């Protein structure tokens, strides 16, 4: 049975859906004012695997996955002004870029991708409900004139505030670093509706023209798309406080119902043992990494650590991920996967690992053993090999891996960096032919010439050809005297 670490209770718990016919998950997605970085890649991939696995357990049609897009906030406004663009122009652009990255990483499309700007009436309704119920207040008359239309959430009214993040309001007040805002009754209160300054994008509301605070949009969109009470809510660990804490406060105060059963947070991506983040400026965009590494390699790298652990980025780790994938595709090379499992034992262990809070490193370990079994039986039991290969592909597919033809993995693309050895230069991927000026036909001719030389025991010529290809980043692998395959190194 599937167990998930619930961050609300800080324990691993059996996962019991509210409705097994409709398992519902909401994940906080991106604020679209820039390209996604590796931290975003991790959220995308981690919850993609959760989604895939839930679909496998409960049936593809019985899982609803919603991942929102924040398309209005201060940073977006600032960036649009910098670039001299309209808000919509900017957000459409970066939504398209985000989708490109997600597609490259093999991330399934969520069932719904709600945007804040398209749910303004639900947002305003929820704020109104909070005001009506006495959980929210409008900035008073004595406050700054420009905050008159601001509406704040009254944290003191919500009894369970701090449960998710393990904080209590007294400690928070004691250590409060938030700047004193005269409009707030309490430094912990947070804004639900921000009145618009001149020239800012805005929507009409009972409190005047303005825009929503960050937290309220997720409460409104989540309950709108999935109902007041749903199964799983996910996001990066940095959203635990205050974002998710505030979501709970808003949603439960507004609906009077429990908001979410299971809270999941993925760990940070780090660079040199330090959190990769926009504010520190120590981040790599997905785009940059994909210039050097195959997207499936990046995906493997992410899944080779448990989702709650920190993930340290380095080229060395990416190189290892590449080597690991190479091993898997080698096992699949030259076989014809045939359904009809003799790989049950592996599947059982794989699922046990995934059932244990999505333990992907453990699941991958099982895949390695499966690959070894395939290689072991190769040449002696073709039927068993074909069936095990099918199992490897199927289980890999649960992780969104190993879906390609091995030949495409080996020969399809390669980073240009390899050929010239100029690591400092920005690199890009191209088709094999573009990359090296070394067309496939030429590779084939050289391999044939080498086969001929080997037949004649002309080892000098044979090795010369191999070296010539190696200089282009091409590795030859002899299957026998007549069958030689190649791959990009």
Binding-site string for RNA from residue 434 to residue 473, where x marks contact by CB under 7 A and - marks none:
--------------------x----x--xx--x-------
Could you give the 3-state DSSP secondary structure of residue 241?
Answer: helix
- Choose which of 17, 39, 210, 396 interacts with RNA (CB under 7 A): 39
Closest contact distance (angstroms) between CB of 359 and RNA is: 5
What is the spatial distance between Cα 259 and Cα 275, in angstroms, rounded to a whole number?
30
Kindly indicate which of the ranges 18-26, 82-90, 198-206, 322-330 contains the residues binding RNA, using the contact rule CB under 7 A: 322-330
Q: Is 311 in the site for RNA (CB under 7 A)?
A: yes
Closest contact distance (angstroms) between CB of 195 and RNA is: 18
- Choose which of 243, 292, 299, 387 interacts with RNA (CB under 7 A): 243
- Which residues in the 104-163 window bind RNA by CB under 7 A? none
Phi, psi at 305, each rounded to 5° = -115, 155
Q: Is 240 in the site for RNA (CB under 7 A)?
A: yes
Q: Closer to RNA at the Cβ: 39 or 210?
A: 39
Closest contact distance (angstroms) between CB of 214 and RNA is: 5
Q: Is 306 in the site for RNA (CB under 7 A)?
A: yes
What is the spatial distance between Cα 204 and Cα 290, in angstroms, rounded to a whole number?
42
Phi, psi at 402, each rounded to 5° = 60, 30
Q: What is the dihedral of CA 191, 197, 199, 204, to 10 degrees?
A: 60
- Which residues in the 68-97 window bind RNA by CB under 7 A? 75
Kindly indicate which of the ranges 104-112, 113-121, 356-364, 412-420 contains the residues binding RNA, using the contact rule CB under 7 A: 356-364
- Which residues in the 371-390 window bind RNA by CB under 7 A? 371-372, 375-376, 378
What is the spatial distance between Cα 472 and Cα 483, in angstroms, rounded to a whole number?
21
Question: What CA–CA distances, in Å, run from 331 to 149, 239, 302, 317, 386?
Answer: 64, 40, 22, 21, 10
Pairing outcome for strands 210-212 and 230-236: unpaired
What is the spatial distance between Cα 331 and Cα 385, in angstroms, rounded to a whole number?
9
Where would I find the beta strands (DSSP E) of 121-179? 136-138, 151-153
For the beta carbon of residue 307, count every other beta carbon within 10 angstroms.
25
Closest contact distance (angstroms) between CB of 196 and RNA is: 18
Q: Closer to RNA at the Cβ: 28 or 435?
A: 28
- Which residues in the 164-193 window bind RNA by CB under 7 A? 165-167, 171-172, 174-178, 190
Closest contact distance (angstroms) between CB of 486 and RNA is: 9
What is the spatial distance between Cα 398 and Cα 400, in angstroms, rounded to a whole number?
6
- Choose which of 92, 291, 362, 407 interacts with RNA (CB under 7 A): 362
- Which residues in the 1-20 window bind RNA by CB under 7 A? 10
Where would I find the beta strands (DSSP E) of 157-313? 190-195, 210-212, 230-236, 260-266, 269-271, 274-275, 311-313
For the beta carbon of residue 396, count every other beta carbon within 10 angstroms.
23
In which region does residue 134 sit, left (phi positive, over 0), alpha (psi from -120 to 50) or beta (all else)?
Answer: left
Question: What CA–CA distances, in Å, run from 32 to 223, 279, 343?
Answer: 22, 16, 43
Kindly indicate which of the ranges 80-88, 108-116, 118-126, 304-312 contains the residues binding RNA, using the contact rule CB under 7 A: 304-312
Instruction: Please choose, from the candidates 2, 50, 46, 26, the residue with its C-alpha nearest in 3D space to the C-alpha of residue 309.
Output: 46
Kindly indicate which of the ranges 55-63, 114-122, 323-331, 402-410 contains the residues binding RNA, using the contact rule CB under 7 A: 323-331
Q: Is 52 in the site for RNA (CB under 7 A)?
A: no
Q: Closer to RNA at the Cβ: 21 or 173?
A: 173
Q: Is 28 in the site for RNA (CB under 7 A)?
A: yes
Q: Is 361 in the site for RNA (CB under 7 A)?
A: yes
Q: What is the dihedral of CA 138, 142, 146, 152, to 10 degrees?
A: -20
Give every CB contact of residue 73 below 8 A, 6+ residues apart in sequence: 31, 33, 211, 214
Q: Is 316 in the site for RNA (CB under 7 A)?
A: yes
Indicate if the alpha-carbon torsion angle 310, 314, 320, 325 is positive or negative: positive
Kindly indicate which of the ranges 141-149, 192-200, 232-240, 256-264 contains the residues binding RNA, using the contact rule CB under 7 A: 232-240
C-alpha 418: how far from chain center: 28
- Choose which of 67, 79, 270, 299 interacts with RNA (CB under 7 A): 270
With residue 182 as reference, give the H or E element that holds it: none
Closest contact distance (angstroms) between CB of 471 and RNA is: 14
Closest contact distance (angstroms) between CB of 12 and RNA is: 9
Q: Is 239 in the site for RNA (CB under 7 A)?
A: yes
Q: Is 310 in the site for RNA (CB under 7 A)?
A: yes
Kindly indicate which of the ranges 102-110, 111-119, 288-296, 305-313 contains the residues binding RNA, using the contact rule CB under 7 A: 305-313
What is the spatial distance between Cα 180 and Cα 188, in angstroms, rounded to a whole number?
10
Closest contact distance (angstroms) between CB of 305 and RNA is: 4
Interface with RNA (CB under 7 A), residue total 84
Q: Closer to RNA at the Cβ: 85 or 238?
A: 238
Instruction: Please choose, from the candidates 29, 113, 40, the residue with its C-alpha nearest in 3D space to the C-alpha of residue 73.
Output: 29
Binding-site string for RNA from residue 271 to residue 290, where x marks contact by CB under 7 A and - marks none:
--xxxxxxx-----------
Q: Is 356 in the site for RNA (CB under 7 A)?
A: yes
């Amino acid at each position: 049975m599937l167990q998930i670490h619930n961050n609300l209770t800080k324990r691993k718990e059996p996962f019991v859906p509210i409705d097994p016919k409709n398992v519902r998950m909401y994940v906080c997605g991106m604020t679209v004012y820039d390209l996604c970085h590796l931290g975003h890649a991790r959220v995308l991939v981690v919850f993609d695997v959760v989604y895939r696995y839930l679909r496998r357990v409960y049936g593809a049609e019985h899982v609803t996955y919603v991942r929102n897009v924040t398309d209005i906030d201060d940073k977006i406004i600032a960036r649009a002004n910098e670039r001299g663009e309209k808000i919509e122009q900017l957000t459409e652009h970066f939504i398209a870029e985000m989708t490109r990255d997600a597609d490259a990483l093999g991330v399934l499309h969520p069932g719904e991708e709600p945007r804040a700007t398209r749910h303004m009436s639900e947002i305003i309704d929820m704020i109104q409900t909070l005001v009506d119920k006495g959980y929210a207040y409008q900035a008073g008359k004595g406050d700054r004139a420009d905050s008159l239309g601001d509406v704040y959430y009254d944290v003191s009214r919500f009894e369970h505030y701090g449960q998710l993040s393990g904080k209590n309001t007294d400690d928070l007040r004691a250590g409060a670093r938030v700047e004193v805002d005269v409009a707030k009754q309490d430094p912990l209160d947070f804004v639900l509706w921000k009145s618009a300054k001149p020239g800012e994008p805005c929507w009409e509301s009972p409190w005047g023209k303005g825009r929503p605070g960050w937290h309220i949009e997720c409460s409104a969109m989540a309950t709108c798309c999935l109902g007041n009470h749903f199964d799983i809510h996910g996001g990066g660990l940095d959203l635990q406080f205050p974002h998710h804490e505030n979501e709970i406060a808003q949603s439960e105060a507004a609906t009077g119902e429990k908001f979410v059963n299971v809270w999941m947070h993925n760990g940070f991506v780090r660079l040199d043992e330090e959190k990769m983040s926009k504010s520190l400026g120590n981040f790599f965009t997905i785009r940059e990494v994909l210039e050097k590494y195959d997207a499936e390699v990046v995906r493997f790298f992410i899944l080779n650590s448990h989702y709650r652990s920190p993930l340290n980025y380095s080229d060395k780790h990416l190189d290892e991920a590449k080597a690991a994938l190479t091993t898997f595709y080698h096992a699949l090379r030259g076989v014809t996967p045939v359904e009809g499992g003799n790989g049950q034992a592996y599947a059982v262990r794989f699922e046990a690992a995934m059932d244990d809070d999505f333990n992907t490193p453990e699941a991958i370990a099982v895949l390695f053993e499966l690959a070894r079994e395939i290689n072991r039986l190769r040449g002696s039991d073709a039927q068993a090999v074909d069936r095990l290969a099918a199992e490897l592909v199927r289980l890999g597919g649960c992780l969104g891996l190993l879906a390609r033809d091995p030949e495409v993995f080996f020969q399809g693309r390669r980073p240009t960096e390899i050929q010239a050895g100029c690591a400092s230069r920005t690199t890009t991927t191209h088709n094999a032919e573009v990359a090296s000026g070394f067309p496939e036909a030429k590779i084939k001719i050289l391999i044939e010439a080498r086969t001929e030389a080997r037949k004649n025991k002309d080892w000098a010529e044979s090795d010369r050809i191999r070296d010539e290809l190696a200089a282009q980043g091409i590795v030859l692998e002899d299957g026998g005297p007549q069958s030689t395959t190649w791959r990009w190194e």
